[in-house]
Structure 1
């Protein structure tokens, strides 16, 4: 038996991961201030629990099932983008591409959060199936990806969210005029989102979301 997948640190990471995914999925139900406030509280906890995970190895580079499809990814990302509107973009100064650029690179809060969500959702979904072998592989992959990929994304996006939460200008910028302009400029995207939901009847989404 692989005791690492049942260790205290792993169980706590799964618990926080499930809560993080549930929070991200509820984005359309939240207002922007609540979303930002909760994000800056749960992201540091997710980072801490990931750091405490045991070092595991994925022999033969095995893979597990992916639960977050491209359609689901875009649905999640679009919900967050529409919630943050013009505040979704921020300038990132800590990226590997920066060595080739003299100026900060534009990044997206919604994309960064959805990238993190995708990795966490795939892991907790595999873990919930109760297959010890698959759970061990998924745990190793998630830890490896944390170190090389989404851990850095997490701290990057946390800086941007911190700035939004405590910026004196943010509250003034969340106004009705901004909302109206954003909706006009993004009507095509929203129509495509609604069309996808109608075509799928949300049956696939609800089934996947409640697993």
Structure 2
């Protein structure tokens, strides 16, 4: 392809560049999930995920160049690394009840889903896309964009919204921001105050008896 035509190609359009930017930032964020506290991770997630959804929805997928599917770069180890980091970080808060699962209509019981699994699935799509872009081959970039945006419509866009719904519930829950240390400190303060009150009551009773 003529180099003079590159700036006019869809892969260099404003909407695509903005999507590439937030996709790369999301990948970096998920790869380093273990470096955040649970509170900070949730606060950042509920900001970056809506931005990712918005930017993906604004991209019009071009026509593919090749007949073969795009190359995959994310290994199973990469996927598990991201998922397990988030799973350990969120702990019991990782699971939530799924309402948009395909089997929900025929299920008599609630279906459990996991934020970590949804985010790892999203990471896999975005990382494959970003890795193709780094090759700087316009035709490969084009088809990687096609694959990523089509996958967004088919599954990872819904997974993003599902995870965001669960993260939103955590972010705006009554106990949000109280990590284990805060809860422990609060409990210790409560126990100490209860003990002092108990001692005070005992002293009053002893005084009355005397």
**TM-score, with normalisation over the residues of structure 2?**
0.79
> How much has 1:112 moved relative to structure 2?
0.2
Count of equivalent residues:
176
Alignment correspondent of 2:155: 149
Alignment correspondent of 1:175: 180
CA 1:61–1:159: 2 relative to 1, 3 Å: farther
* Greater than 6 Å deviation, 4+ residue runs: none
Equivalent position to 1:72, from 65, 74, 78: 78
The answer on 1:103 being equivalent to 2:124 is no
Unaligned regions of 5+ residues in structure 1, if any? 179-211
Alignment correspondent of 2:61: 55
Unaligned regions of 5+ residues in structure 2, if any? 184-210
Tell me how far apart the structure 2 counterparts of residues 113 and 22 of structure 1 sit (CA, whole Å).
12
Once the two structures are overlaid, the 10-residue window that deviates more, 56-65 or 111-120, is 56-65
> How much has 1:4 moved relative to structure 2?
1.1
Tell me how far apart the structure 2 counterparts of residues 61 and 104 of structure 1 sit (CA, whole Å).
40
> How much has 1:61 moved relative to structure 2?
4.6
Tell me how far apart the structure 2 counterparts of residues 57 and 97 of structure 1 sit (CA, whole Å).
33
Tell me how far apart the structure 2 counterparts of residues 77 and 67 of structure 1 sit (CA, whole Å).
16
Aligned-residue CA RMSD in angstroms?
1.8
Tell me how far apart the structure 2 counterparts of residues 96 and 47 of structure 1 sit (CA, whole Å).
21
Q: Say which SS state the counterpart of residue 45 (structure 1) adopts.
A: helix
Once the two structures are overlaid, the 10-residue window that deviates more, 55-64 or 33-42, is 55-64
> How much has 1:169 moved relative to structure 2?
3.7
> How much has 1:59 moved relative to structure 2?
5.6
Superposed CA deviations along residues 74-107 of structure 1, whole A, max 9, x for unmatched, are: 1111111010011111111112121221332100
| 8 A Cα contact 2:115 2:166, kept in partner | yes
Alignment correspondent of 2:141: 135
Tell me how far apart the structure 1 counterparts of residues 63 and 117 of structure 2 sit (CA, whole Å).
28
Alignment correspondent of 1:164: 170
Superposed CA deviations along residues 91-146 of structure 1, whole A, max 9, x for unmatched, are: 11112121221332100100000000100010011111101111111000001000
Equivalent position to 2:28, from 18, 22, 39: 22
> How much has 1:58 moved relative to structure 2?
3.0
Alignment correspondent of 1:9: 15
Q: Say which SS state the counterpart of residue 113 (structure 2) adopts.
A: strand
